[in-house]
Amino acid sequence: MKQFTIPAGMRDLILGECETKKKIQLEIENTLDKWGYQEVVTPTIEYYKTYNIGFDDMQEEDMYKFFDASGKIIMLRADMTIPIARVVATKFKEAPMPLRFRYCADVFKVHEELSGLQNEISDCGVELIGVDEKSGDLEILATAMEALKVVKDKKCILEIGNVNYFREACRVLNLSEENISVLGNLIGKKSLISLEEYVKTLQLDKDAQQFFLELPWMSGDYRVLEKARKYAWNTTLNTLLDDLLRLYENLSTLGYENINFDLGKISNLNYYTGIIFEAFVEGVGTRIMSGGRYDTLIGKYGRDLPAVGFSIKLDALIDIVPAVEKKKKYIIEYASKDVLKAIMKSNVLREKAIVELKVNESLDDIVVKEED
């Protein structure tokens, strides 16, 4: 017997799963619409070069790559931020700011086989373009909190960091690019044992050593911002903590709860230039939302604009959001000779419910049943 399977990391979504996913998507899109975001659809395939310029250290093996007819390398899109940055820089050259774009699209990333991870996931998100951190950061976080209401009464935490906290501290300490990259990697992954070993090899005073060892632990509620004060060696670092604290106070004033901070959050995407944030929800073992500020990315495609955005991973939510309630449904059974009558009857009923037709040759006349 012939067996047909799907490629590694792919999934079929059927029946209730589709309905639930659609419901989550519509609810999020509805929220984003109310904040003035307009939908953008970009091609599933982009030039490899486009991504390579955006991600400085792109992991080649993580991308699905092909050749086009002329031999250029093309790839399945790995995210939606890069395509939107490209669209903004090339199609909105003179447009007044800000621009608010939203998307819901499948993005592709290759994971090692048999890991149980999905290689195609649906990202639903926004990009707020042309607004700097002074006002844009609070707006995007408030939008994120509204969108996260889709998880209903499940415990959900939004965690905020700022890549500049780590970068500025490294700058003050005069660390080399290589040291910064290794440190960033170890701190971001909270790989604490290797971090301790590595920090010992650097020529740092006690205070600085202690700082890097504590950085992965500077995560939790707003009080970590105070804990971090003792290492705020200059005005830049102090201002950065002030700004995060103000974000917290403002979000609290707006009524949002469960806002945490992680100053040791160092994204593996190096295009972020300011705040970065992630959301976690009870029952899901991975982040369900990620986002951040990327003020230099769009410039790489030709127009210098500050921007900030986030995306929600829809697939992760399917299992925790309650399934869609069953709708009322009629079944009309009919013998073939009555097909016209059956469809006419169904058209009438369809105005208030779902109607499904079913052949039953033993019947003399059509029969309408309500599905239980």
Partner 1 sequence: MLHIALTKGRLEKESVKIFEKCGYGIEELKNKGRQLVFKDSIKENDYFLVKAADCVTYVEHGVADVGIVGKDTLLESTSRYYEILDLGIGKCGFIVASLPDKDPYKKVGHIKIGTKYPTVAKEYFMQKGMDVEIIKIEGSVELTPILGLCDAIVDIMETGTTLKENGLVVFDRICDISARVIVNKASFKLKRKEINELLLDIKKVL
Binding site for partner 1 (CB under 8 A): 112, 115-116, 155, 157, 159, 189-194, 216, 219-220, 260, 262, 280-282, 284-287
* Cβ proximity to partner 1, 83 vs 264, nearer residue: 264
Among the listed residues 254, 46, 36, 56, the one whose alpha carbon sits nearest the alpha carbon of residue 127:
36
CB of 50 to partner 1, least distance (A): 26
Q: How far is CA 129 from CA 207, 247, 249, 346, in A?
A: 39, 19, 24, 49
CB of 367 to partner 1, least distance (A): 49
* Cβ proximity to partner 1, 193 vs 340, nearer residue: 193
* Cβ proximity to partner 1, 61 vs 361, nearer residue: 61
Q: Specify whether the CB–CB gap between 146 and 332 falls below 8 A.
A: no
CB atoms within 10 A of CB 161: 26
* Cβ proximity to partner 1, 115 vs 234, nearer residue: 115
CB atoms within 10 A of CB 96: 7
CB of 112 to partner 1, least distance (A): 7
* Cβ proximity to partner 1, 84 vs 259, nearer residue: 259
Exposure on the CB side of residue 289, measured as CA atoms within 13 A: 32
DSSP type of residue 76? E
DSSP 17-48: HHHHHHHHHHHHHHHHHHTT-EE----SEEEH
CB of 267 to partner 1, least distance (A): 13
CB of 223 to partner 1, least distance (A): 12
Tokens of 37: 């975001």
Among the listed residues 55, 48, 44, 43, the one whose alpha carbon sits nearest the alpha carbon of residue 297:
55
* Cβ proximity to partner 1, 10 vs 339, nearer residue: 10
CB of 105 to partner 1, least distance (A): 23
